[in-house]
Chain A
Amino acid sequence: MLSPGTTAPDFTLYSTPDQKVSLSEFKGKRVILAFYPADWSPVCGDQMALYNETLRFFHKHNAEVIGISVDGKWCHLAFSKDRNLHFPLLADFEPKGAVADQYGVFDEKLGECKRALFVIDEEGIIRWSYLSPVGVNPGADGILDALEQMDATVQK
C-alpha cells in the first residue's frame, strides 16, 4: 500500500458509460480516493452512502471524493442512480484492478479492491492512507481528521 509522502499515480478510468475521469484533472483540489470491494452492499448506511452525506464536510476542506471498485461502468451507473450518489464511482475494470494494484490495494485472491482510503493533497501527493478490514466500513472521521491536519499545516 502506498504510503504518505508518495506521489499518487495518475490514472484514467470510466466514470460513466461514455466519460472518463483522470486524477490529474483534480490538481488544485484535494482528493479522497476510496477503494472498496463492490457495489450493492446490503446495508442502509454503506460506505458510499455515508460519503454521499458527508460530501458537504469534505467540500469545506476543498476535497472531492472518488469511489473506485472493479465493478463495470454500467453497474456503477445503476448503483449510483439507486443511491442517488453525488460523486463519481470509477470502474477499475479493464485490466481488472490495475489502478488498485498500483496503489497496493488489490486483493488478487478475491479479485476485488481492498477497503482502502487515500487523501491526496492539491499537488497530487498522498498525505494520509488507511486500510480497513474488508467487512468494516471505515466511516469518515479518519478522513476529516486528516483534512483538518492538512489545514493546520497550510496555515503554519
Chain B
Amino acid sequence: MSLRPPVSEQDHIQGNPGAAIELVEYGDYQCPHCGHAYPIVKQLQEALGDKLKFIFRNFPLSEIHPDARLAAVAAEAASRQGKYWEMHDIIFENQEQLKKSNLLEYARQIGLDLPRFQTDLESSDLMDIVEEDFESGVRSGVNGTPTFFVDGRKYGGSWEPEAFAAFLNSRLKEA
C-alpha cells in the first residue's frame, strides 16, 4: 500500500528535507496509541538525526474522539504563525485535555497571537486541509491510527522503539 499523494511542500516536514529516510505518520491527537507513539518518534528522530525527515498528517476519528478534529485544526492554525511543531508537541503532551479552552491555553503558552489563532480555529480552509489529510489517508489504506509510511510504503511492523529503529536502520543500509 503506497502513499497517495506523495509528500510535497503542502506537508509539514520536520528535519532535513533531503534526508535518506522519509517517515510519515497518520495520526489522531486524541488517540492514546498515537500518544504512545509520540515519544517513540522523537527518539527515532534523535537517533537518526539528519538521516530522517518526519511528516505528520491528520487522521482524526471524530466519532470516537470528539476533540481530535479541532486539535488538528489548532495545529494547522499554529502553522499559519510558523509554530506547527510547537503546537503538535504541546497537544500530544496534553492529549487528555483538548477542549477549545485548553487549545487556547496551549496557544498562549507557545506564544501565538491569540486573536489571530482564535479566528483561524474557525477557518474553513484549515478544516479543509484536515479533511484532505484524512481523505489521503483513506486512499493510502490507513485503517486506524497511528499508521506509518516509510519511504512511501505502508509500514506493517511493530513501532515499538527497538523494532522500529532496527527497521529504519536496515532501510538506511539499503539506501
Asked whether, in the complex, the Cβ of B61 is within 8 Å of the Cβ of A141, the reply is no
Asked whether, in the complex, the Cβ of A139 is within 8 Å of the Cβ of B143, the reply is yes
Tally of B interface residues using CB under 8 Å: 20
Asked whether, in the complex, the Cβ of B139 is within 8 Å of the Cβ of A44, the reply is no
Q: A44 to chain B: which residues have CB within 8 Å? A: 28, 31-33, 61, 64-65, 144-145
Beta-carbon contacts under 8 Å, A8-60 to B: 43-47, 49-50, 52-54, 57
Q: A54 to chain B: which residues have CB within 8 Å? A: 138
Q: B1 to chain A: which residues have CB within 8 Å? A: 141
- Report if A144 contacts B (CB, 8 A): yes
- Report if A84 contacts B (CB, 8 A): yes
- Report if A62 contacts B (CB, 8 A): no
- Report if B151 contacts A (CB, 8 A): no
Q: A149 to chain B: which residues have CB within 8 Å? A: none
Tally of A interface residues using CB under 8 Å: 21
Q: A44-B145, A47-B143 are in contact. Are A139 and B138 (CB under 8 A)?
A: yes
Asked whether, in the complex, the Cβ of A45 is within 8 Å of the Cβ of B138, the reply is no
Beta-carbon contacts under 8 Å, A124-156 to B: 137-141, 144
- Report if A61 contacts B (CB, 8 A): no
Q: A49-B61, A83-B64 are in contact. Are A141 and B138 (CB under 8 A)?
A: yes
Interface digits, B2-13 against A, CB 8 Å rule (1 contact, 0 not)? Answer: 000000000000
A51 to B146, CA, bound (A): 17
Least Cβ–Cβ distance between B98 and chain A, in angstroms: 15
Interface digits, B59-72 against A, CB 8 Å rule (1 contact, 0 not)? Answer: 00111110000000
Asked whether, in the complex, the Cβ of A141 is within 8 Å of the Cβ of B139, the reply is yes
Least Cβ–Cβ distance between B17 and chain A, in angstroms: 28
Nearest A residue to B4 via CB reads: A141
Contact surface of A with B, Cβ cutoff 8 Å: 43-47, 49-50, 52-54, 57, 83-86, 137-141, 144
Given contacts A47-B143, A50-B61, A141-B1, 10 further A-B contacts (CB under 8 A): A44-B61, A44-B65, A45-B145, A53-B62, A53-B134, A54-B138, A139-B138, A139-B141, A144-B138, A144-B139
